[in-house]
Each structure stands twice: as C-alpha cells, then as structure tokens.
Amino acid sequence: MDRQIVYPGQIPLETDLLNTNRNTMVALAKLAAAMLGSATIVNGLACVPTSPASLQVSVSPGEMYALAALDATAYSSLAADSTHNILKQGISLDAVTLSCPAPATAGQSVNYLIQATYLDSDSGLVALPYYNASNPAQAWSGPGNTGAQQATVRKGIVNISVKPGVAAPSGTQTTPAADAGYTGLWVVTVANGQSTIAAANISQAANAPILPTDLVHAIQQSAMTVAADTGAANVYAVSYSPAITALADGMVLWFKAKTSNTGASTLNVNGLGAVPLVGGAHSALQGGEIIAAGRCQVVYRADIASWVLIECTGGALQVTPGTQSSHAVTVVQAAGVVGQVRNLKMNVAAASATATLTADEIIVESALGGARYCLANFNKTINLAATGAGGMDTGSPPANGYVALYAIYNPATGGSALLASNATAAAAPNVYGGANMPAGYTASALVSVWPTNAGGQFAAAAQIDRSVYFAPIQVLSTTATVSTPAALNIAAAVPANARTWTATGTTSNVTAGVGSFLTVAANTGQVGQRFISQTSPANGAGINVSLSDVLIQTPQTTYYTNTGSGAIGAVNITQYTF
C-alpha cells in the first residue's frame, strides 16, 4: 500500500490528501480482488415486494464490486487515470423502489429485469471558500470569487434500474438482456390484471453474481458450492451463485438431486453445457447411483472432460474392481453363486415343527445377478408354526408336501434368519420370489427343500449341503411287463426342485431259469440309465441294487422298464439332491 510523505514545516499540498484517498482506495480494491476476484460481485441488494404490497419492488441496501477505471475523470488536481482498472466498491445505503406495472392486454405477462452497474458520482456541491490574497480576512466564494459550486466527494455508487421486457401471452414472455455495462440481478414477472407483486413473482436472474450471504458464513455453510438441481432424471442442471463461469480441473461441487437416475447421466453447471456425469470407475452411470433428494458430490476432471460422482447420499456407489485384500469389490466380483454353501447341516431325528440349520458359509443375493453377500457361521432355527422371519412366509405348512427354506439377510442391520415357503405345487426359486419377505430383508438363497408329514411338520430326515436323506419311500412295486419306458410319478419321495434321486432297486423272477430286468432313466430315450438284472435257476430269486444319482429331467418324474416272465420290480427312494 502506497503512503504519502510530508515533513515538518512543509507547506502541505492538496495532492497530499488526494493521493492519500486514492492510495487507500487502491489498497482496499486490491484486498477485495484478492478475496473476490476480478469479476462483478454483489452483496445484498435483495429484491422484495413493497409493504404494503403494490406494483413496485424494493431493492435492499447492498454493495457491488466491479472493475472500473482508477479515475475516469480528473480527481481535483489529480489527472484522470483510465489506464489502470481496479475492483471498486459501489455502495447503496438506502432501499430503492422501482415500479413494475402490469401489461394492459388480457392474457399477457411481462418480465422486468432489475439491473445494476457501478458508477463514480461526484456530489456534495458547495461554493467553497478560497484564500483572498488581497484581503486575507475576507475569503472568496468559489474559485476566483465566482461563487461557482464544486463537488466535495467522489462517491462509488450502485446505479439500480428496471428494464421492462416485451409483454407476450403468459408463459411465452422473455426477460430482456441487461444494458451495456449493467448486470442483471432479479426478474420480476407481472401478469395482466395483477394489482400487487408477491415474493413468488420475483426470481434471481440467471447467473446473477449475488453472494448468498457474507463471505465467512458462505464458506462455513458451503453456500457458494451447494445448490438445488432443476433438471430431470439423467439430465441434471444446477446454478450456483455467484455464477460459475468456467469449469476448472479439480472443482468440487455439491447439489441436491431433484430426481433419481435410471442410467447414463449428464450435469450442466450454470448453463455452461451438459457434461457427462460418470461414476468413481469413470464409467457411465447405470441407474440408482443418484436418488431423489440425495446430496451429490461431484468433482470435475478436465482430462476426461467429465464430472465424476464421488457420492450421492443414499445412492449406490460405483467402484473399480478391487485388486487388493482391503479393496471394495463390484457386485459381479463377489465370490460364489446364490445358494452356494459350505458344510451345511440339518437333522430332524423325529417329526417336529422346529429344526436348526447350520453352515460355515452361505451365499445370498438380492436377485439373480444382484447384490451378493456371504453369511458366515450361519446357525438359525425355524418354526413352521410361526410366520415371518424364523417361520413360514405366510399361511400354514403343507401336509404331506414340501417346504422350501431360505436363508434371508437384512443388509441394513446385518441380521439373518430362515424363512419357509410352501414348495409342494411347484419348484421354489433360488432367490425368494414371494410377496411376504419380512421387512428389511432384501437378500436370500434357497438352502433346503424338506418333506412334511400329515401334520405339517418336518418329516424325519437329514441334510448335508444340498442332499436330503430319509427312510426308504416306495415309489414302484409291479409284476407287469413294461417293455417301453413308462413315466413314473415319484412326487411322494422327491420335491419339484429335486435334480437327482437315489434308491434301492429290486428285481426278481417267478420262473426258474428266466431272468428279470429293471431299468430307470431320465426320459424315454434312457438318458442316464440305471439298471438291475438277474438270471436264476430258482423261482422267486431276486437281487437288490443301489440306483444312485438318477437324473431328473421332468420334475418329480422318472421312466422305467420291467421285463422278464412275471418279473417283480420295486424302487424305494432314500435320497434326493436339489
């Protein structure tokens, strides 16, 4: 900051005082520019309805900071200096009232632009006393005793005016552009027949450079970098005040989303143009990363000409595939497939409404291909007499049917449970698909399909991983000759989810020296055939053989043949996998 020097005994000059004023103004201007930059900035100057309401508005006191010549005209004895521009401060200490009359034509509206500019204003006109050398006791009035008045103060003011637009049918009227040298601050919309202006008729002009509050509190509240989205789903538009005039690498902004995204999205900041909005992996958004009313943080990367969504509160987060042990993983990276288990066990020694299922690990998903979770050290009890988590999903368990057991998981609380569902009539899906999932549970996996007795209890059985074992259930006993593969219903022993079955097969003859032959297979083409044959010289001789892992292609159905003179064939199922 420059300072004038004066000396004892020196005859002071008017330029000493003038330069002191000018130097102070320059110093404050440079400090303001260091804080605010060189672009026009407004503090205050709020536009509000008059009280009582009328067809006028009141512009509150405030300040405008704008680049202007150091002195466009001579400042007393100091010559004009229009070579140097500084950030000058224009001050409006009093409210300014402006008229905004309604258009005369029915159905029309008009937009008024409240605009402002900085001006140097010389005022305080006074006929100043001057030294009279011929009679020092009698001062001259004005220079040369002419009585002429001279300005005594050079004010920095805000010149505020209203510029009317062209009236047009309501909804089609446009806001006029600011006059040269002026900055648009507010838009006032008035319709034909309107007699008063309300706050709803006043809006901030596009890109108006108005500080949201004083600088300290604006920084504390992030008021200059937080704004509300006014766009649509996938097409986000946000205006910040003061207006952002150019995108800069590393710029970080926040906005409140108006709508959720459903796919790839763009972001338009202060009308600078739609720019791709990508996720943390620099890939296009897929949907669900932004939710309505979520607070979104974005950072601009100039090298990829994109906004990167750092986070949206409540939204899904896009990450790159993890490469280290502590990295986050993508959904498709998560290990395992739904229903995959390690060391799953369940045992019902005698028919009961309750049972306990344990496993070292179970993989559950929100949907096939959806969010995947691994449940460790699973140990849960289920009661078929209850409903909800730990019981039936709805209704009562079936009699002499099957129940599907699902491991269910609540990601918000980390809670898990078992849920039973009637699986008698059709195969149960690998992820629970019913309408009665307990609240908060969003992921599941089919971990068992268990037979029930006549009382709707768990039948006596045991399960290891995805195999269920039980006492023999006879599904075939015949002496009829069946030469061509015939369908055999095995629903009494296996559920619709069963993939294979294992049984004890028996074949015996009734005529000495005539053999017998029994086959089972997945279809009429004898795919996956298992067979038993025997030839004995004695009548009634037979043989028992294990028929293991017989493939099921049609749910709860197998195909068999039984040949030989009066041959007796029997099948007793003891196990199925699902």
Tell which residue, 100, 36, 26, has the closest CA to residue 63.
36
The separation between the first and the last C-alpha atoms of the chain, rounded to the nearest angstrom, is: 86
- Predicted confidence (pLDDT) per residue in 221-263, tens digit: 899 999 999 999 999 999 998 999 999 999 999 999 999 999 9
Spatial contact of 182 and 116, defined as CB atoms under 8 Å apart:
yes
Spatial contact of 110 and 201, defined as CB atoms under 8 Å apart:
no
Does 537 score more than 60 pLDDT?
Answer: no
- Predicted confidence (pLDDT) per residue in 553-564, tens digit: 999 999 999 998
pLDDT, average across residues 328-356: 89
Does 513 score more than 80 pLDDT?
Answer: no
The pLDDT value given to residue 213: 87
Give, as one character, the DSSP assignment of residue 391.
S
Give, as one character, the DSSP assignment of residue 367.
S
What is the per-residue burial (b if ≥16 Cβ within 10 Å, else e) of 118-142?
A: bbbeeeeeeeeeeeeeeeeeeebbe
Q: Is 117 exposed, middle or buried (0-12, 13-18, 19+ CB in 10 A)?
A: buried
Considering only CA atoms, give the Rg of the chain. 44
Overall pTM > 0.75: no
The pLDDT value given to residue 324: 75
Length of the chain: 578
Separation between Cα atoms, residue 289 and residue 260, nearest integer Å? 8
- Predicted confidence (pLDDT) per residue in 157-194, tens digit: 999 999 999 999 999 999 999 999 999 999 999 999 99
Separation between Cα atoms, residue 452 and residue 399, nearest integer Å? 6
Spatial contact of 552 and 498, defined as CB atoms under 8 Å apart:
yes
The pLDDT value given to residue 358: 98
3-state secondary structure at position 140: strand
- Predicted confidence (pLDDT) per residue in 131-161, tens digit: 999 999 999 999 999 999 999 999 999 999 9
- The string of DSSP codes covering 527-555 is TT-EEEEE--SSTT-EEEEEEEEEE-SST
pLDDT band at 533 (very low <50, low <70, confident <90, very high): confident
Spatial contact of 164 and 55, defined as CB atoms under 8 Å apart:
no
Spatial contact of 301 and 279, defined as CB atoms under 8 Å apart:
no
Tell which residue, 118, 116, 89, 91, has the closest CA to residue 29.
89
Spatial contact of 4 and 24, defined as CB atoms under 8 Å apart:
no
Separation between Cα atoms, residue 381 and residue 312, nearest integer Å? 38
